[in-house]
Amino acid sequence: MSATVTPIGCVTKLDLPVEQVLEAAKGKELAGVVILGYREDGEQYFASTYADGGMVLWLLEMCKKQLLEVGE
């Protein structure tokens, strides 16, 4: 018997699989992305579709603001 995981679309304290998060982003019609993470060996990973570092920093700050407001 195989288990089926059904996403419920809420905030969770559990880590999610990388593949699940990336697959969900594919259907969101995103104009651009910034990817941050850690490799299996602990090394940081960064990639962006934006060439402008200022745009990347602005997007990170806007996302940081949104994250800080989740608990309010």
Q: Residue ranges of the domains in the chain?
A: 23-68
Q: Give the model's pLDDT for residue 27.
A: 86
| Cβ contact 19:9 at 8 Å | no
Q: Give the model's pLDDT for residue 45.
A: 97
Q: Which residues of the chain have pLDDT under 70?
A: 1-11, 72
45's enclosing H/E stretch is: strand 44-48
DSSP3 helix / strand / coil % (the chain, rounded to 5): 35, 15, 50
Q: Give the model's pLDDT for residue 2.
A: 65
Query: For residue 5, which phi and psi values (nearest 5 degrees)?
Result: -100, 125
